[in-house]
């Protein structure tokens, strides 16, 4: 087998969901957009539903299809992008709950699917999704009379606990929603960690479930092992890979590994990231190419069949740091070529 291999630990995923849930006194949903942050939204949703999660969030209506198929009827599948033109059949047929972002969307939804569940998304300063003050003032009474499931907003700086934007957005959210009887939600992973003022009635963690920062106590969920296709011996001074970008300073053994930027091993990791064979670090050398990576295995005594890129020695955020990015991007870039094995749950 020559594709990269992901082992996804559903017990760790469930443990992360429970640990985040235990930090609040409110309901905890699960954000499973972008195919469950790259790990498989159907499998992730099923494991969390079994553990007790009843509410899920996806980015766009299309993502709701795989999740509804995995979960069957019952659990709530919410759509952050709301009710877009052309979404009506999907929302209706799959029983999705759009988080409506504008007066246009509210109008579209109430006309196309009267009586169908919906939530409302407010902008409290991030300026990305949701209704602003004037829109909200114009439509709040009418929209709330239709008994939405949720009124929500999103924090821009929740991964920086001391950032003044957090308290500012909290205050705006209070001003926009105090006194209404609809359940409210403000916190994703970062917001949960900011404390109970941010929790309201429902929290919506994503990245923390999958082992990513800012949830420092998270258990690792994904392990990545990449097969070694061949190993060659180089003399001092020989070069490796496109652009001759690495030259060996000692006689070296170079393993060619089957994966590349087509698998989310981004080019910015060239010359910076590290593979592991059990406890021995093996530096990535030369340039990452589309389907292949070259690794210095000179220090290994045995001949490896595979090398580990995500695992106990190196988590998602360690790898992200090496590449100058964040864990979210590592996870959501993984792509469709891996074989995925699910264990636990």
Ligand X SMILES: *Cc1c(COP(=O)(O)O)cnc(C)c1O
Nearer CB in complex with ligand X: 150/207:
207
Nearer CB in complex with ligand X: 68/204:
204
From residue 71 to residue 90, what is the string marking binding to ligand X with x (rule CB under 6 A)? ---------x----------
User: What count of other Cβ atoms lies within 10 Å of the Cβ of residue 1?
Assistant: 8
Residue 33 known to be catalytic: yes
Catalytic residue chosen out of the listed positions 50, 196, 242, 343: 242
Nearer CB in complex with ligand X: 56/275:
56
How far apart are alpha carbons 99 and 122 in whole angstroms?
A: 9
Q: Is 290 annotated as a binding residue?
A: yes
Whether residue 210 contacts residue 326, with contact meaning beta carbons closer than 8 Å, is answered with: no
Output the residue with the shortest Cβ distance to ligand X.
206
Interacting residue with ligand X among 206, 241, 260, 315 (CB under 6 A): 206
Residue 272 known to be catalytic: no
User: What count of other Cβ atoms lies within 10 Å of the Cβ of residue 249?
Assistant: 8
Q: Using the rule CB under 6 A, is 207 a contact of ligand X?
A: yes
Strand runs labelled E in 153-310: 184-185, 202-203, 222-234, 239-240, 246-247, 252-258, 274-277, 280-285, 292-296, 306-310
Q: What's the Cα-to-Cα distance from 29 to each of 21, 49, 76, rounded to whole Å?
A: 9, 10, 9
The minimum distance between CB 152 and ligand X, in angstroms, equals 7
Q: Using the rule CB under 6 A, is 55 a contact of ligand X?
A: no
How far apart are alpha carbons 84 and 23 in whole angstroms?
A: 34
φ/ψ bin of 194: left (φ > 0), alpha (ψ from -120 to 50), beta (otherwise) = alpha
Q: Hey, what are 94's tokens?
A: 């799959």
User: What count of other Cβ atoms lies within 10 Å of the Cβ of residue 245?
Assistant: 14
User: Which of 134-142, 200-208, 232-240, 242-250 is the region at the interface with ligand X (rule: CB under 6 A)?
Assistant: 200-208
Q: Is 54 annotated as a binding residue?
A: no
Q: Using the rule CB under 6 A, is 68 a contact of ligand X?
A: no
Catalytic residue chosen out of the listed positions 33, 43, 210, 328: 33
The minimum distance between CB 198 and ligand X, in angstroms, equals 12
| Residues tagged in the binding site annotation for substrate | 128, 290
Site residues (vs ligand X, CB under 6 A): 31, 33, 80, 154, 188-190, 204-208
Residues designated catalytic: 33, 242
């Amino acid at each position: 087998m020559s594709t990269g291999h992901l082992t996804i630990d559903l017990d760790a995923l469930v443990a992360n969901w429970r640990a985040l849930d235990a930090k609040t006194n409110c309901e905890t949903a699960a954000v499973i957009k972008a195919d469950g942050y790259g790990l498989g939204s159907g499998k992730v949703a099923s494991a969390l539903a079994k553990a007790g999660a009843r509410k899920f969030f996806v980015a766009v209506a299309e993502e709701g299809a795989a999740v509804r198929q995995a979960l069957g009827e019952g659990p709530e599948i919410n759509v952050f992008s709301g009710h877009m033109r052309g979404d009506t059949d999907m929302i209706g047929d799959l029983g999705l709950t759009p988080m409506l972002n504008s007066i246009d969307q509210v109008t579209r939804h109430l006309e196309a699917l009267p009586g169908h569940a919906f939530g409302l998304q407010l902008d409290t300063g991030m300026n990305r999704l949701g209704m602003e003050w004037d829109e909200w003032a114009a439509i709040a009474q009418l929209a709330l009379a239709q008994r939405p499931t949720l009124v929500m907003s999103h924090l821009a700086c929740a991964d920086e606990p001391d950032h003044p934007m957090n308290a500012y957005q909290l205050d705006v959210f209070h001003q926009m929603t105090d006194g209404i009887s609809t359940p409210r939600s403000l916190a994703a992973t970062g917001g949960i960690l900011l404390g109970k003022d941010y929790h309201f009635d429902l929290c919506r963690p994503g990245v923390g479930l999958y082992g990513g920062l800012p949830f420092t106590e998270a258990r690792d969920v994904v392990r990545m092992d990449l097969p070694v296709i061949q190993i060659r011996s180089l003399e001092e001074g020989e070069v490796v890979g496109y652009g001759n970008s690495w030259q060996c300073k000692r006689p070296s053994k170079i393993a060619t590994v089957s994966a590349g930027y087509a698998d989310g091993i981004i080019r910015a990791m060239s010359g910076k990231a590290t593979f592991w064979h059990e406890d021995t670090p093996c530096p990535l050398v030369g340039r990452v190419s589309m389907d292949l990576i070259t690794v210095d295995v000179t220090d290994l005594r045995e001949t490896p069949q595979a090398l580990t890129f995500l695992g106990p020695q190196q988590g998602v955020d360690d790898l992200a740091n090496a590449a100058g990015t964040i864990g979210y991007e590592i996870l959501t870039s993984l792509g469709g070529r891996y074989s995925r094995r699910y264990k636990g749950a």
